Amino acid sequence: MGTAMHEPRRDACPRRADAAAWALGRLDGRAARHLARCAECAAEAKAVRETVRRVRAVPLREPSPGLTARIMQALPAAEAARPRFRFAFHPVRAAAAAALLLALGVAILTIPRVQHRRQTAAVAHRQRLDRQAGEAAVWIAAQQEADGTWRPSRTGGNDAYRPAVTALAILALQQQAPEAQAGAIRRGVSALVAMQTAEGAFCRTSGARLYNHAFAANALFALPERLAREPAVRTARERALAFSLAAQNPQGAWDYTAEGPGNTALSIWQIALLTQARGQGWNDDRGHLRRSLAWLQRQSDGRTFGYRQAGVLPPGGAGGLTLTAMAAATLLDAARAYPALLPAAETAADALRQPRFRDETEVPDYYRDYFLARVSAGIADQHALDEIQARLARAPAAGGAGGAHWVANDAWRQAGGDLYATSLALLSPRTGRLS
């Protein structure tokens, strides 16, 4: 259709393109003289001028009143988050600065050079991570206890989270070295199943119960089919799922107590479990998963996800980035089954690009970066993944028996220790799903 529209007439004046230039006032004297002599071009020019007038008569959209302030506020944060743009700032006087910016031209060729440098660094980080990941899997296996569990206090964590850390270690080994560490994985799974209580949970300590339960149950649902088919594992999975369903409140959420209104972080881990179960054939005929996803969406104020209610973060105000990354990753996963969730998932993923969140990534946090990496992989944002990998590559590593591993230096180190940090580093995707 477009081709037919552009097909030149054989008898058309070859200089008709000057008509548009004339209408835009960009014509030299020679072309102007041609227009004065050629009736066809003159008619064309007149029509084009009318189109230009009509187009320019449409009023411009006004920016919102706060746009300038938002941009100016974003500048220092953006500067801090993008070291590749750092360079010395000449002390140009204020009055001359705007004129200078307006007058000076560009070094266009610097753009591809900067991009090339960035890509080279990203490849180096990925290679380093791949190397370290291989050693880290050996290190994780070497930390396994005789009973098949992984004990957090061995690497600086708290043994109240033994089921969770055992689950993380199993997941990490399954991801990184399923064949080489098949024995360690199998012993870990048996130990996990043995930890399950009569209620179907994986922990008796009330404060740590739901996290332990969710990590352990998620690990069991992530096992390869040959392990998942084993009767003991199959039964453990069914009982674990039943416990989670029974713990859900009428609003569709989970909380530390049955009376709690719902806790976003806790609920997200349970939603992840239900999403996995659904993907493996569990029939949500009672609407547990749908209710929980509806509840999760209500925790957003449009940009950030709250801790217990929309717009409200945990005491201290930090954690908005982590919660939003957790929600975005969860919604992206669930959107594979419920495509109607995609707009909400994309909104949550977009919210992660808010300039105010850039400061939060300056603080080390393997847990946050694990979710950020999942989101980035989910939307195939390789640039964001590169930034996360750069942080992981710079994170402190230690040698020791069995190989290099990541050292926990974040807010969760007292709970999970180095085993937690190393497992999550291994579980963080290194490439986008679709790239």
Q: How many residues bind other proteins (CB under 8 A)?
A: 83
Per-residue interface string for the shown chain with other proteins, residues 368-397, x marking contact by CB under 8 A: ----------xxxx----------------
Question: How far is the C-alpha of 140 from the C-alpha of 158, rounded, in Å?
Answer: 17
- Whose Cβ is closer to other proteins: residue 147's or residue 362's? 362
Q: Which of 32, 43, 68, 235 contacts other proteins by CB under 8 A?
A: 68
Q: Which of 43, 47, 194, 232 contacts other proteins by CB under 8 A?
A: 47
Give long-range contacts, CB 8 A cutoff, 24+ apart: 126-129. Answer: 126/389, 126/430, 128/393, 129/389, 129/392, 129/393, 129/425, 129/430
Q: Which of 36, 39, 72, 401 contacts other proteins by CB under 8 A?
A: 72
- Whose Cβ is closer to other proteins: residue 48's or residue 182's? 48
Dihedral angle, C-alpha 352, 354, 357, 358, nearest 10 °: 100
Helix (H, G, I), strand (E, B) or coil at 305: strand
Question: How far is the C-alpha of 53 from the C-alpha of 57, rounded, in Å?
Answer: 6
Per-residue interface string for the shown chain with other proteins, residues 254-273, x marking contact by CB under 8 A: --------------------
C-alpha triplet 19, 25, 27: angle, nearest 5°: 65
CB of 114 to other proteins, least distance (A): 9
Dihedral angle, C-alpha 223, 229, 233, 234, nearest 10 °: 110
Q: Which of 48, 180, 182, 228 contacts other proteins by CB under 8 A?
A: 48
| 205 and 217 Cβ atoms separated by less than 8 Å | no
The closest alpha carbon to 126, from 388, 325, 362, 353, belongs to 388
Helix (H, G, I), strand (E, B) or coil at 220: helix
Per-residue interface string for the shown chain with other proteins, residues 238-257, x marking contact by CB under 8 A: --------------------
Q: Is 152 exposed, middle or buried (0-12, 13-18, 19+ CB in 10 A)?
A: buried
Question: How far is the C-alpha of 38 from the C-alpha of 235, rounded, in Å?
Answer: 88
- Whose Cβ is closer to other proteins: residue 16's or residue 308's? 16
The stretch near other proteins (CB under 8 A) out of 48-56, 156-164, 211-219, 220-228 is: 48-56
- Whose Cβ is closer to other proteins: residue 303's or residue 308's? 303
The stretch near other proteins (CB under 8 A) out of 63-71, 126-134, 237-245, 260-268 is: 63-71
Q: Which of 51, 205, 235, 309 contacts other proteins by CB under 8 A?
A: 51
CB of 68 to other proteins, least distance (A): 5
Site for other proteins in 73-132 (CB under 8 A): 74-76, 78-79, 82, 85-98, 100-108, 110-111
Helix (H, G, I), strand (E, B) or coil at 397: strand
Q: Is residue 60 involved in binding other proteins (CB under 8 A)?
A: yes
Site for other proteins in 333-362 (CB under 8 A): 335-340, 342-343, 346, 350, 355
Tokens describing residue 349: 């993923």
Tokens describing residue 365: 């946090």
| 199 and 236 Cβ atoms separated by less than 8 Å | no
